[in-house]
Every structure is written in structure tokens, then in C-alpha cells.
Structure 1
Amino acid sequence: MEQKLHVSSEVGTLRKLMIHSPDEGIGKVIPTKAQEWLFEDIIHVETMRSKEYDLYIKLLLYFLDYEKIHQQISDADHPENKRNFYKPDKEEYFLSDKVIEPQYLLSEILDMRDVRNRLVASICAYEETSYHTQEELLEIPSKILARTLISGIMPDGSMIFPPIPNFIFTRDIGIMINDHILLNKPAKAARARESILAKYIFHNHPMFATYKDNIIEVNEPKDFFLLDNEELSKSRITLEGGDIMTIAPNHLLVGVSERTSLHAASMLVQIMHERNVVEKVTVIRIPAKRAYMHIDTTFTQVKRNLWVMFGSFSKQGMEQEQRGFIRSLVGEQNSDHLEILQYVKGEDYNTPKRFTYLEDLLDDISQNDLHSTEPTEFIYSGDNQFPYGRREQWTDSCNVLAIKEGVVIGYDRNDKTSEGFRKKGMTVIDAAELLDKFDREELHPDQVENTLILLPSAELSRARGGSHCMSMPLFRDPLIG
């Protein structure tokens, strides 16, 4: 199952990605544990799956694996088959080699006895289960065991581990940077089991065999534990994929945020240059607030000259928030202050290039890295109207996934942001309406251009992550020109 993997932009035509459907563990989250497990609220899992996320999968299958899905779609939509079509432990599962489920990959490596023994031992040690439970897990069939290791639920319905509801945000477990794979080091304990599972998948599945020497893990020094508590807190490495963007073949963006530490960013700059992965690394330091979380909650790319971003981080927004203050008093005291530093291989790290505003950086990327022949343009969260900009940023208006240049998936609840897309000449269409056109063969996915596709998001938005978060691109066509 060896496959070519490579990502060198955010908007090249998407050919292969990894996604994880909401699993039954998400439906076990109770109100008192929701925030500890990084959800803003409890969700109704069946609605999240059947009325929201399944549309996301179907869109991806149509765009990435049209021939296979179009042949299967009448059977897949039959009421008796629909539920099992999207579940990787069922015989009716769609099993695409372009829209890939980590749970299925996990089940395949669990067929390897040595890997099964080591992985189950690792998970049980971390979760502090009994030895008897470990032995019991080893006897479960691989497809069911994969489901259990993710959801925490045994075949008899008993729950032995906490759920890992954030596993739906596959971007955070790993990122393709050209032909390298960067694995995460999560900031929150609620995501630690995700990290263990991801390591075993990437290091053991045949799909990634030829990339084994290109897997990058960023960890603290071996003697890190000898530091005192104050030094530990300053030097800790945490890293999540929402803070990493392979924006151009020669350029990587790294966010420093609530989830990715300054020390991790520093090490990434050096590793990327030492291994000749990219020439430029730009570090974007955003406020360490839950509202922002990762840089991809504040901006993502629509096409080479068009971006959607949070207005409060824009030049206009920052100037508005500083109005009435003596400029010299604002500076670092401004709670929404951004710091943007660019490090180029071979140049002095002590004198990086600085960008005052986010638009300046994004314009530089569009014009100089991606060679846009048109002026750089911006769509703002909430169409830059107060308070809608902040409301819609919270529900992931800036977090869109590009299927190809100019065709992106967002959430339907962000009305003002959608209006901003329309003002830029983009078509805005509901996912169900577009899928109906595909089903009826009124439209082929290849014919879709300059379009924002809106997913229903009443439940998905409670999880605090959009379509960009819910994807790990594994292969994109290189941008031409």
C-alpha cells in the first residue's frame, strides 16, 4: 500500500488526505468533563455524524475519488447501508486510498503481532490499566481493537479509557512538509493517546515505509527532567499541527500559541534548515488564548492571492483597537499583539525579517513565494463587522480547507463571512445542494470553481475546529507558475 506523499502548498489540488469520523467515544463526553477534554460543550454524536460529518466525507470522496464513489453512491445512500459505509470496522466501509481513515490504518498494523503487543502495552501503561485488561485487549480482533483504542469502549460496551474526541482533528497529529512528516507533541493531556497512536501508525504502516527516515519528532533533550520547575515550564516543547502550514515549497509557517510553545518553534526553525526541508520559516506568535488556539483558527488560504483571516489581527483591526491610546503605551501590552519573524537558512538568526502586520506576510507569500499575477486580497471573519468578526472566528470562519485553488469547505453558520466570500465573486453553496448536483450528474466535481462549500455545523462547531483542522493532507498537486 506504498503511496506517494507530498505537500508543498495549502491550495494545490488535494489528492490524498487523512480524516477520522466522529467515533462513539465522543458521545460519552459528559458536561463536567467537556472542557478538560477540550470540547466547549457536549454534542449529539449521531447528528454530528449522519447530518454533518458524513457530508464532509462524501464531498471529499467525490472530489478526490470520484470514480469509486460515483459507482458506489446508490448503494451507499441506501438506508440499510448508509451507516456502515462510513465506519472503518464494517464490511461495507468505503475503503478509499485517497480519503484515508487512521482507524483503518491502525487496524492493519494491529494485524502485526509484534506491533500489536507493543502498542497495547504502551496504551495500557499510559492509561494505567490492569495487566488483565491488557491481556484481554490483545485477544480482540484488529478492527474492533482499533475502535477500542480510539473510543475507549470495549466490545461489551464497557468503557476502559477516556475518549479522545479531538482525534477528529487529524491535522494536529501530523503534517506533511514537502516529503517529510512532522509528528505532534500535544500540549494537553487529553490528546496524549492520539500522539501514541499516530506514532505507531506512521512508523509501522506500509503506506509510510519509504518515508520512515523523513519522520520528524521534536522532543526535549534527554536530560530535560533534571531542570527545576521554572526552567521546565520555559523549555517545554509542545507542538500541534494547527500551528504548522506548508505554505510554499520553500516556506513553512509556525505558530506560537496556546498549544505550540516558543521552544518548539525555535527547534523547528533549526531542524527545517539542518535537514534542508525548507529555506524559510516564519514564526507567527499569537496571543495564548483559547479563542485562537492555533494560527489556522485565525487565517487560512483560499487561493494563491486570496486569504480569509480574523479582522482583529488585520492592520485595520489592530489600529482600531489601539485608537485612543498613546501609541508608545500599546506595543506589547496590546492583548492581541502579533509578532511575526522570518528566518532564512544561512542568515543570522539574531536579525530575522520582521512583519508588522499579518497582511504584509500573506501578501509577501502570495506575490513572492507563489508568484501571483493578481493583487493579494483578503476576506475577513464576520465581513469585519463587530461583533460578528469575533463570533464567527469562534465558530471557525477562518478555518477552511482548500480542495483545490479557489474551492474551499467552511461552516454554514458563519453568515457574515460567507457574505464576504460573495463580495469577492465566490459562489457560496450548501454541501447538500452541491452533492445533489453530483448525485444527479448535473455537475462534475472538476467543474467546480471559485466556490465556498458550506457544511452544516450545529454540532461540529461545538468541538472548536473547522474543515482545515479536520484534515491531514498527504498529497497535493504542486502549484504551477
Structure 2
Amino acid sequence: MQNGNHPVRTQEIRVASEVGSLKRLLIHSPDRGLGKVVPSKAQDWLFEDIVHLETMRKDEYDFYVKILLYFLDPDKIRGKLAWISTDPERNFFKPDHPDYFQSDAVIDLQYLLTDILKDEVIRTRLISGICAVERCRFHIQNQLYGYDPVELSKILISGSLPDRTMLFAPLPNLIFTRDIGIVINSHILLNKPAKLARTREAFLAQYIFFYHPLFSKYRDKIIEIPDNEHHFLLPDNEVSNDYSRTTLEGGDVMMVAKNHLLIGCSERTTLYAAQQVIRLLFDKNVVDKVTIVKIPKKRDYMHIDTIFTQVKRNMWVLLGSLGRVGDEAKKRDLLHFLAPKDVPEALRIIQFTKGAEHKPVEIENLEDLLTSISRDDLGCSEPVQFIYSGNNEFPFGAREQWTDSCNLLALKDGVVIGYDRNDKTLEAFRQAGFETVRAADLLERFERGEADPETIENTFIMLPSAELSRARGGSHCMSLPLLRAEL
């Protein structure tokens, strides 16, 4: 990967927890395609709303990137923040800009795509494949060969030419890099998106993971999920059901301990895909234990990381209505009585352990599962704590879960980044002994030497989120960790 003379070479890849200190990750900063989402296609492209691109870039995502750099690659950022948090002229740079941060630890997918497109053979194959997927005219295919790798990468992601002509749909969901793949110990699981709108993302991800030098030592450890062997012979009504369809997205996969993987079965991930992953991981001796967390198939939830994420070894944030406290919450929820037919199906949790002698075990509730992970898998002797979305107050639990109160990225054990708009959840964090601090204020503290990423602890970093939250994904969704320190 290069920007000027800055290659990113093969690096160690290993993730064995959700809260070990983050050392390297993949992101994708908002591209021009996000500014092309129109109301009539928003839901087809998996957006609930249209967003204001420049606000998202400069006033929100820019803080996310700078916080990541301060924790993962501080030499790239320390002493270089000439702006004050309210400076309207602050610049936001994409990977093709000469002032881009060029980090080996915070890596943009567009950067990697540009690099592999410098190879003529890969370039030809990728253009041909995408034009086939997008059903482009042969004239368009020939036109794309004329662009340099930098511009071509932007076209393939955004779907539009430099003159703003749209060739095909944008990929507005690519900012949620978690969904394209997941690192499981030293293996890479490539995911299979459920929705047509994300097909091109998966295609680009295949080429990046198999062809970029960053992953060259791990090509024999890339796992692809097989389709039903005879899927092309199945009737249409069977192809679309959970027992034959292979779809899985990274928001439904959590590497919670070196021996233990969670897989959510959700609106986006099927039971058949989960079954295939369990078989592959056990055959390759990647993990010893896989727990299936089956959640209601509702757009409200989408993936398991929208209903819970880990904060520190002994602490989790989750949606109370799907946990042990859910029954009590439902008693206070008038909708539970007024429309009982619409109450979602119950959450189910089944744990599989490698070995013929082990039978699947059903776990009663989410808190029991998370307590077991902290206590048994991570060896935590402290009491396990839960922070509930909206502080478990009606109607704030559901409201704030919708704006990603449970979708947090742990930068290290006990230091998380999430959205600033979930007031009741933030109140619950403060009650649990956490400091809540605006990203801009923390960056200024770092610059003045008043705080240090190495020593900071028990902190919730609040990311501006008016536009980002409208895209329906939080900081956990916007990250694909490649390397975490061992706990």
C-alpha cells in the first residue's frame, strides 16, 4: 500500500478478545458515495435516512480518526493538531490527499484497494468482475480501464465518476468495515452479506484480503463460507430460507476470548451460515467453543453488536429488554399489553464445544452468557457488571439502542468510544464510575500533555454523532480490528 513512498508491509494479525488494547484496524472514511444516497433508494441501500456528508466527515468522523490515531499511532498526530475543536476550517483528508495521515495502524480500505489496482492483472480482473456484477455496458468497462488506480478505487467504491456521473449504486455501508470480515485469532473470516446492496463490498474485500501484501502471510488462513452445495438447484422459496441460505455479517461475530467465538443469528446472519462456520472453525482447530445467540429478526437489532458489546473484562453494555431484566421492563411497557402479537420472539442462546462427547448446551439468558465469558473465559475475579441502554428506563432503552448506545468500540480494557447523544446510557456509565469526555476535549488534553492514552482508564469517549447515527451503525460497526494485545 502506498501514498507517496509509504508502503504498508505484512503485519501481524491476531485478535483474541474484544477489549485487549487495540493495535491495528481497518476503517473506511466517508466517501462521496454517501452524498449520493437519495430518499427513494435509501432503504434499498440499507439507510434509514440521507446524511449530510461534509458534516459527517469534518465534524464527526474526523474526531473518530484522530482519537484512533492518538491511541494506535500517536506519532502521526501528536503536536499536529493546529485546529481548535470549534475551527470550521478544519480539513478532512481522504487517502488520496497528500496530507493524509498514512498510518500503518489505522488503515483505510480505499488505501489498500488503490494499492492492489496498481497490478495490471488484478486491475483487469476486478474491473471485469464488478462490471459483470453491476451489469455495465462494455463501453463502461473500457472507460474504467482509462483511470489511474487512485481515481479508479474511488469510482469502484462510490459508484460515480469524477464529474459526478453515477455508473452504479454507491456503497454507503462500507464505512461499517466490521461487516466485511472478522479476525478470529490468526484467521480471517470473510463474510457474506445478506443484502444485494452489499454484494460489491464483499467482492472488493475478497480482492483486498487475498491480494494485498498486508495479508500475504495469512492467505492460507482466510476462511470463506461455502454456499449450500446444490443451492442453484433449490426452488426459490427454499433458497431464501434460513436452512439453506448462507449469509453472515461481521456485526454478528465477536471474538470474545481466544477459545470462544460468538455468532449471532439475526436479520442478516442465517443459521445455515453459522453452522458452516462452526464446522470450519472446529475442523481447523481455530477455537474450542462457539455460542450461537439467536436474536429477533428485527431491523431494530440487525446484528448482535447492536444489542451488546464489551466495555472491559468484567463489564458489558446491553439492551435490557433482551436480557434478564427484560421481563420487568416489559411490565412497564404499555405496548407489551396493547399489542402482544407484536412482541418479538424470545432470544435463544446455544453453546457448542468441540468434541463428539460435548452436546450443545442452552444458556438461559444473555447476562448468564456474558458473565460466563468474563469469569470463565477471561479469568476475571471481580464481579461482572452490566450497563443498560438508556439506564434501563422506559422509553430510553429502546430509543438509545436505536442510536447505537450498545455499539461501542473498546480501544483498551475500560476505555471505549461511542456516540454522544445517548444521554441516559452515558448517565449509567457515570454511575458506574466512568468519566465521559467529548472527543474534542480529550484531544486537546492529549495535545497539552494533560492526559495520555497509555494511562487513561474507565473512560467513555463521546463522538459527535448527529449524522453518523443516522447511518444506523456505531463505533463497533465502523472498525475491523486486525490486532489486539493479549489480555
Cα deviations across residues 88-147 of structure 1 (Å, max 9, x unaligned)? 111211110000000000000000110000001111111111111111111211111111
Q: Which whole-Å CA distance do the structure 1 matches of 2:309 and 2:228 have between them?
A: 33
1:333–1:28 distance in 2 versus 1, CA, 3 Å:
closer
Question: 2:384 is matched with which residue?
Answer: 376
Task: Give runs of aligned pairs for residues 356-375 of structure 1, distance below 5 A.
Answer: 356-375=364-383
* 3-state SS of 1:56 partner: helix
Q: Which whole-Å CA distance do the structure 2 matches of 1:76 and 1:221 have between them?
A: 55
Quote how far apart the aligned CAs of 1:396 are: 0.3
Question: 1:161 is matched with which residue?
Answer: 168
Q: What letter corresponds to residue 338 of structure 1 in structure 2?
A: L
Question: 1:250 is matched with which residue?
Answer: 259
1:448 maps to 2:459:
no
1:78–1:307 distance in 2 versus 1, CA, 3 Å:
closer
Task: Give runs of aligned pairs for residues 414-429 of structure 1, distance below 5 A.
Answer: 414-429=422-437
Quote how far apart the aligned CAs of 1:315 are: 0.8
CA contact (8 A) 1:383 1:416 kept: yes
Q: Which moved more, 1:314-323 or 1:74-83?
A: 74-83
Question: 2:190 is matched with which residue?
Answer: 183
Q: What letter corresponds to residue 448 of structure 1 in structure 2?
A: I
Aligned partner of 1:215 among 209, 222, 232: 222
1:170 maps to 2:177:
yes
1:52 maps to 2:60:
yes
Q: Which whole-Å CA distance do the structure 2 matches of 1:173 and 1:49 have between them?
A: 22
Report the TM-score when normalising by structure 2. 0.93
* 3-state SS of 1:254 partner: strand
Quote how far apart the aligned CAs of 1:447 are: 2.2
* 3-state SS of 1:70 partner: coil
CA contact (8 A) 1:13 1:476 kept: yes
1:78–1:299 distance in 2 versus 1, CA, 3 Å:
closer
Q: Which whole-Å CA distance do the structure 2 matches of 1:45 and 1:156 have between them?
A: 17
Question: 1:328 is matched with which residue?
Answer: none
Question: 2:5 is matched with which residue?
Answer: none
Q: Which whole-Å CA distance do the structure 1 matches of 2:470 and 2:343 have between them?
A: 28
1:343 maps to 2:345:
no
1:464–1:77 distance in 2 versus 1, CA, 3 Å:
closer
Q: Which moved more, 1:230-239 or 1:211-220?
A: 230-239
* 3-state SS of 2:78 partner: helix
Question: 1:269 is matched with which residue?
Answer: 278
CA contact (8 A) 1:313 1:336 kept: no
Question: 1:130 is matched with which residue?
Answer: 137
Q: What letter corresponds to residue 214 of structure 1 in structure 2?
A: K
- Which 4+ stretches in 1 moved above 4 angstroms? 75-82, 331-334
CA contact (8 A) 2:186 2:221 kept: yes
* 3-state SS of 1:216 partner: strand
Task: Give runs of aligned pairs for residues 35-434 of structure 1, distance below 5 A.
Answer: 35-74=43-82, 82-83=90-91, 86-234=93-241, 235-321=244-330, 335-347=344-356, 351-434=359-442
Cα deviations across residues 278-334 of structure 1 (Å, max 9, x unaligned)? 00000000000000000000000000100000010111213543799xxxxxx9996
1:336–1:71 distance in 2 versus 1, CA, 3 Å:
same
Question: 1:467 is matched with which residue?
Answer: 475
Cα deviations across residues 317-369 of structure 1 (Å, max 9, x unaligned)? 13543799xxxxxx9996240110000000457x3111111000000000000
Question: 1:327 is matched with which residue?
Answer: none
Structure 2 stretches lacking a partner, 5+ long: 1-8, 334-339
1:43–1:340 distance in 2 versus 1, CA, 3 Å:
same
1:75–1:386 distance in 2 versus 1, CA, 3 Å:
closer
Q: Which whole-Å CA distance do the structure 2 matches of 1:471 and 1:20 have between them?
A: 8
Quote how far apart the aligned CAs of 1:70 are: 1.2
Q: Which whole-Å CA distance do the structure 1 matches of 2:104 and 2:209 have between them?
A: 16
Quote how far apart the aligned CAs of 1:74 are: 3.6
Quote how far apart the aligned CAs of 1:78 are: 13
Q: Which whole-Å CA distance do the structure 2 matches of 1:222 and 1:111 have between them?
A: 35
More helix by share: 1
Structure 1 stretches lacking a partner, 5+ long: 325-330
Quote how far apart the aligned CAs of 1:83 are: 3.0
Cα deviations across residues 181-238 of structure 1 (Å, max 9, x unaligned)? 0111000011111100100000000000000000011021342110122322230110
Quote how far apart the aligned CAs of 1:442 are: 2.0
Q: Which whole-Å CA distance do the structure 2 matches of 1:335 and 1:10 have between them?
A: 28
Report the TM-score when normalising by structure 1. 0.95
Q: What letter corresponds to residue 355 of structure 2 in structure 1?
A: G
* 3-state SS of 1:105 partner: helix
What number of residue pairs does the alignment pair up? 471
Q: Which whole-Å CA distance do the structure 1 matches of 2:271 and 2:356 have between them?
A: 20
Q: Which whole-Å CA distance do the structure 1 matches of 2:408 and 2:369 have between them?
A: 19
CA contact (8 A) 2:314 2:382 kept: yes
Quote how far apart the aligned CAs of 1:76 are: 12
Q: What letter corresponds to residue 17 of structure 1 in structure 2?
A: L
Q: Which whole-Å CA distance do the structure 1 matches of 2:427 and 2:328 have between them?
A: 24
